[in-house]
Amino acid sequence: MKMSKKLLSILLAVLMLTALMPFSALAANLPFKDVPADEWYYPVVKTAYEKGITNGVTRTTFEPNATVTREQFLVMLFRAADVQLDWIHQVVTAQSDMFFSAMGFEDVAKGAWYAEAVYCAWVMKVTNGVDATHFGVGQPITREQMATLAERFMNARLHVALKAAEHPAAAFSDADQVSGWAKEAVEAMRVAGILQGDDQQRVNPKSHATRAEATAVILRLADATERVSFVPAETAWIRIMSSTAVKDIKDPKTVQDMIRYLDNMPIDSETILPGVTDAGYAIQFYDQNDEFLMNFLFSNHAIVVNYSRLQTVLPYFLPWTLMS
């Protein structure tokens, strides 16, 4: 009986000490045995894991030096941007034949865990696949592919653009080995401080990106962005359409006032334009030659965008969380 009381006293003492410990001390250690605290990628993996951007390969291993597939990297990008892929899943599942035939990637399986991310990236013009009929599912992503997907993803988001780092890395010594289609993205990512070279300042564009490298790139994106106007720079006039009326705004000053309002408005489900009482309406942007640039639909539940790529294919809209 005395032993039981002693054990109980010890247990209570431990519980009291634990309650007094800061939460950070309890959650400080990662569950991954292969991510040492003295490695450069430890804080990167820890932050990504805590934010739900990436998980381990198993419950106790992260495999930081393993390769990342193209679809894995896309899913990580969307998770980091807090895009609600569940919303897309509902739409894609409802009309999967039409959606997937429009995309045309034969290697993207309907219902696959990555399907919504690949489809959404195709709509946003983030990816064209490795060819017209294949996304490249299961293929390890190269460093130049990683840079290109990340740079295009940032360019496709509203109000967001990459900004130059205060002290960007020097030009890559092997920049001449970067594929022509990736040169612009690789350079932009270097200037923004997101893509870094090795100890000889090589970017190694054809090398496969590791899980640690991919995670670092995604986390650096958040620190390398700035708020910009999402309205096409070529905009000359604006058309507002509701269920009951159509109004064209062509006075230059009024157009600029409208653009400033749109750039500064909070993007949420309660957004209503001044003077518009209809719950659902659209805004279209045109250039000086009356060429259509972009279309936005505002409704009770979302702010959505129709990218011009799909105008003649299908009226698919992305969730408003992409534009936050």
Please count the other Cβ atoms lying within 10 Å of the Cβ belonging to residue 157: 18
- More confidently predicted of 161 and 36: 36
- More confidently predicted of 93 and 78: 78
| pTM for this prediction | 0.68
Contact 223, 80 (CB under 8 A): no
Confidence of residue 159 (pLDDT cuts 50, 70, 90): low
pLDDT score recorded for residue 3: 45
Residue pLDDT, tens place only, 95-148: 556 666 778 899 998 888 898 888 878 877 789 999 999 999 999 999 999 999
Chain-wide mean pLDDT for the chain? 76
Q: What is the mean pLDDT of residues 223-236?
A: 78
Tokens of 101: 């035939």
Residue pLDDT, tens place only, 25-79: 333 478 999 999 999 999 999 998 988 888 889 999 999 999 999 999 999 888 8
First and final C-alpha spacing in the chain: 62
26-36: burial string, b at 16+ Cβ within 10 Å, e else: eeeebebebbe
What letter would DSSP give residue 210?
B
Tokens of 261: 């309002």
pLDDT score recorded for residue 203: 96
Confidence of residue 312 (pLDDT cuts 50, 70, 90): very low
Contact 97, 103 (CB under 8 A): no
